[in-house]
Amino acid sequence: MKKYPVNPRDYKLYEEIGDGVSATVYRALCIPFNEIVAIKALDLERCNNDLDGIRREVQTMSLIDHPNVVRSYCSFSAGSSLWVVMPYMAGGSCLHIMKSSYPDGFEQPVIATLLYEVLKALAYLHSQGHIHRDVKAGNILLDSKGAVKLGDFGVSACMFDSGDRQQSRNTFVGTPCWMAPEVMQQLHGYDFKADIWSFGITALELAHGHAPFSKYPPMKVLLMTLQNAPPGLDYDRDKRFSKSFKDLVAECLLKDPKKRPTSEKLLKHSFFKHAHSKDLLAQTILNSLPPLGDRYKTLKENEANILRNQAALGNSEELSQREYIRGISAWNFNIEDLRREAALIEESDSGLSKCDRANAPIDEDDKIDSLVTATFIESLHDSVSGACLEDCLEDHTNETAEDLPSNSPVNEVGGCSNVRADDSDAYVSRQKASIFEKLDSFVTDDEHRENSEDEEPGFQCKGRFTVIRPDPCSKDSLSANTLNSELSSLNGRLASSLLQRLIKQNSMLRDEILRLMRYVDQKTANMEPADTTANNERLEFSLAAARERDLQSQVMNMQQSVNKLVEELQRQKLKNAQVTVYLSSAYSLIIKPGFINY
Ligand SMILES: Nc1ncnc2c1ncn2[C@@H]1O[C@H](COP(=O)(O)OP(=O)(O)OP(=O)(O)O)[C@@H](O)[C@H]1O
């Protein structure tokens, strides 16, 4: 096999052809081979220390060998970046093609051809034990001849992972609009079927030019996906599509992952009778397209214009949502802490939830959805009283996938720094106030947005980062990761902080009393002759006070130990749940090799 050089000097970088949250992609020349390649430069500083994710992506890409999957030729470090050398896909991504020439989506034969190729990639990946976890138009790449390849393994996972990597399958990654309900729920982990859901959403994306719910902020997408009927090809404008296409989408978007077909089975679906060879793609959608670099430049210019117009209108909040406007593929909704908290609450909650009582779900799936959604919201309520997220639910319980332009402008992405403070009380109250503010702004924005299609979401989560409603000027701006972990630990921290403050106050009062007593004693001693008995009493009193202070500090230490033990218990509980999931997957493997089902 051809060995590509691993020295940056052997490559000449040309124009930029794409970018994501963690990477910029360039067209480049591999000088010794005189061959055009694509180089994905992963900025290690922008990767939020997700070195494991990068390692996984590079490792997965280098091991993969399938005509429908983008593989990496080699990778190496170049300055503060990691360069991944890949085949150059001159057509770019389906998302970019739609954005520049097909805003309302592709025709059915094109969709069938694209989806068939993607499905072959998925069948291969699944057979190798990989879950892609980020299937979407933005990750479907075309070369100049119409060959289709699935790319971006930034969040892929291996079914046979153990330890930390197994854990990654129990976390909340992907992109909200494309994310399967079971990935959001995090009740029993998930498997290959999560990709089938995303595949169904991608089918809708290719048919309409944007994914269902794409105008909504991630938090709302999450609630709508759990609560509403699955989206489908049910609108008037969908009449142009065949029944087999509608059936395919409906099968992929079944909420119960067990009922969804495998990728192997889907390959035999009657819809793929409409699929053609790659020539169709070359002759239709790629035919009149300008070179990728030019297209990318135009897209960027359009994006800049939109931002400038918004700035002129004084809508500063929309300014830095560049990723959303240009259709960056991944805005991974990283709320695993919150989800975990919701799941724990559910475990320990034997009574019916608000949502359960109100909605009286008819079947088991709906019940689980409602319960999880309700516990999710209740956990927020428990942590931060006053947050009123039910609005999100109630507003949309009867909505199905409403189609809204994926390029609708959204809020600004703020610089979100973690808050640090020396004074724990001030820190806790500031965090609390900040959380209230964030949640309030989320709810307010949501209500506001209901009345206007052009309004922007209040939350924006992208890439391996989660970003909350922006406030670039605020020093106290808080990342959603911080928010999530603060929410889960706020009650414990508040209680501990309160106790510590009480002990501190108590000991200050005691010192003050002792000081006053000493003062009174001195005054009395000046007036009276020395009294041995009184002196002895004073000595005893001082000793008792010292012993009391000693005991107080022991109580404080014990309190801290209890806090640590509670934390450890929660960690162990989580580990236990993961081991159970792992064992059940191992068991399924033994009884059904090649297919994993929890
Ligand atoms: N081999 C390639 N040839 C041509 N264009 C590419 C290639 N790889 C990526 N691109 C373009 O660059 C964009 C960003 O790439 P990629 O999705 O891998 O980066 P990322 O940082 O992982 O982004 P995100 O996670 O936001 O999707 C793609 O959407 C695509 O348009």
Summarised one tens digit per residue, pLDDT across range 349-373 is: 333 333 332 333 333 334 434 444 4
The two structure tokens encoding residue 470: 């922006």
- Cβ–ligand 1 distance for 40 under 6 Å, the answer yes
Up-side HSE of residue 186: CA atoms within 13 Å toward CB?
Answer: 30
Going from the Cα of 555 to the center of ligand 1, the distance in angstroms, rounded, reads: 56
Q: What is the mean pLDDT of the chain?
A: 68
Cβ–Cβ < 8 Å for 100, 286: no
pLDDT of residue 545: 73
The two structure tokens encoding residue 455: 């309004």
Mean pLDDT of 141-164: 70
Considering only CA atoms, which residue is closest to atom 10 of ligand 1? 18
Phi, psi of 70 (to 5 degrees): -70, 120
Considering only CA atoms, which residue is closest to atom 20 of ligand 1? 20
Helix, coil or strand: residue 150: strand
- Cβ–ligand 1 distance for 25 under 6 Å, the answer yes
Scanning the structure block, which residue is given the tokens 């009294």?
531
- Domains of the chain are 10-87 (3.30.200.20), 92-301 (1.10.510.10)
Cα–Cα nearest to 596, from 158, 267, 159, 168:
159
Considering only CA atoms, which residue is closest to atom 19 of ligand 1? 20
> Residues at the annotated binding site?
40
| ipTM of the complex as predicted | 0.96
Summarised one tens digit per residue, pLDDT across range 303-323 is: 788 777 766 665 544 433 343
- Cβ–ligand 1 distance for 28 under 6 Å, the answer no
Going from the Cα of 227 to the center of ligand 1, the distance in angstroms, rounded, reads: 32
- Cβ–ligand 1 distance for 355 under 6 Å, the answer no
pLDDT of residue 537: 66
Closest ligand 1 atom, residue 328 Cα: 26
Lowest mean pLDDT among 37-51, 169-183, 210-224, 522-536: 522-536
Going from the Cα of 42 to the center of ligand 1, the distance in angstroms, rounded, reads: 11
Going from the Cα of 232 to the center of ligand 1, the distance in angstroms, rounded, reads: 27
Cα–Cα nearest to 460, from 503, 411, 424, 507:
411
Going from the Cα of 22 to the center of ligand 1, the distance in angstroms, rounded, reads: 10
Up-side HSE of residue 289: CA atoms within 13 Å toward CB?
Answer: 32
pTM: 0.58
Considering only CA atoms, which residue is closest to atom 8 of ligand 1? 25
Considering only CA atoms, which residue is closest to atom 13 of ligand 1? 18
Scanning the structure block, which residue is given the tokens 């999450």?
222
Cβ–Cβ < 8 Å for 270, 261: no
> For residue 278, what pLDDT band results from cuts at 50, 70 and 90?
very high
Summarised one tens digit per residue, pLDDT across range 384-414 is: 333 333 333 333 333 343 333 333 322 222 2
Mean pLDDT of 259-278: 96
What is the CB neighbour count within 10 angstroms for residue 176? 26
Considering only CA atoms, which residue is closest to atom 18 of ligand 1? 152
User: DSSP assignment, residue 408?
Assistant: -
Going from the Cα of 18 to the center of ligand 1, the distance in angstroms, rounded, reads: 6
b/e for 332-364, b at 16 or more Cβ within 10 A?
bbbbbbbbbbbbbbbeeeeeebbbbeebeeeee
Mean pLDDT of 568-583: 80
- Cβ–ligand 1 distance for 327 under 6 Å, the answer no
- Cβ–ligand 1 distance for 53 under 6 Å, the answer no
- Cβ–ligand 1 distance for 252 under 6 Å, the answer no
Q: How far apart are CA 175 and CA 222, in angstroms?
A: 10
Helix, coil or strand: residue 293: helix
Degrees, nearest 5: CA angle 315-320-323: 130
Mean pLDDT of 211-224: 82
- Cβ–ligand 1 distance for 91 under 6 Å, the answer no
Going from the Cα of 135 to the center of ligand 1, the distance in angstroms, rounded, reads: 13
The two structure tokens encoding residue 126: 């699944």
Residue of 21, 40, 96 to mutate, ligand 1, most atoms within 8 A of C-beta: 40
> Residues at the annotated binding site for ATP?
40
Q: How far apart are CA 172 and CA 133, in angstroms?
A: 10
Share of the chain above pLDDT 70, in %: 53
Instruction: Output 417 or 554, whichever has higher pLDDT.
Output: 554
Packing angle of the helix pair 94-101, 292-312 (nearest 10 deg): 60
Phi, psi of 225 (to 5 degrees): -65, -40
Q: How far apart are CA 465 and CA 177, in angstroms?
A: 16
Q: Are strands 11-19 and 23-30 parallel, antiparallel or unpaired?
A: antiparallel
Q: What sections of 193-285 are H helices per DSSP?
A: 193-208, 218-227, 243-252, 263-266, 278-283
Amino acid present at 86: M
- Cβ–ligand 1 distance for 478 under 6 Å, the answer no
What is the CB neighbour count within 10 angstroms for residue 189? 23
Closest ligand 1 atom, residue 57 Cα: 22
Q: How far apart are CA 136 and CA 16, in angstroms?
A: 21
DSSP letters along 354-399, please?
A: HHHHHH--SSHHHHHHHHHHHHHHHHHHHHSTT--THHHHHHHTT-
Considering only CA atoms, which residue is closest to atom 4 of ligand 1? 89
Helix, coil or strand: residue 294: helix
Taking the chain, what is the end-to-end CA distance rounded to the nearest angstrom?
39
Q: Is residue 43 annotated as part of the catalytic site, yes or no? A: no
Amino acid present at 444: T
Q: CB neighbours of 204 closer than 8 A, spacing ≥ 6?
A: 211, 212, 231, 232, 233, 249, 401
- Cβ–ligand 1 distance for 110 under 6 Å, the answer no
The two structure tokens encoding residue 336: 């695993």
Closest ligand 1 atom, residue 93 Cα: 31
The two structure tokens encoding residue 146: 């119409």
Cβ–Cβ < 8 Å for 223, 391: no
Cα-Cα-Cα-Cα torsion 306, 312, 316, 317, nearest 10 degrees, comes to -40
Summarised one tens digit per residue, pLDDT across range 476-507 is: 333 334 434 443 444 444 455 555 655 666 66
- Pick the catalytic residue: 19, 50, 134, 152? 134
> For residue 140, what pLDDT band results from cuts at 50, 70 and 90?
very high
Cα–Cα nearest to 294, from 539, 437, 101:
101
Residue of 152, 294, 295 to mutate, ligand 1, most atoms within 8 A of C-beta: 152
Please say if the pLDDT value at position 521 is more than 80.
no
Q: Are strands 81-87 and 74-78 parallel, antiparallel or unpaired?
A: antiparallel
Q: How far apart are CA 545 and CA 530, in angstroms?
A: 23
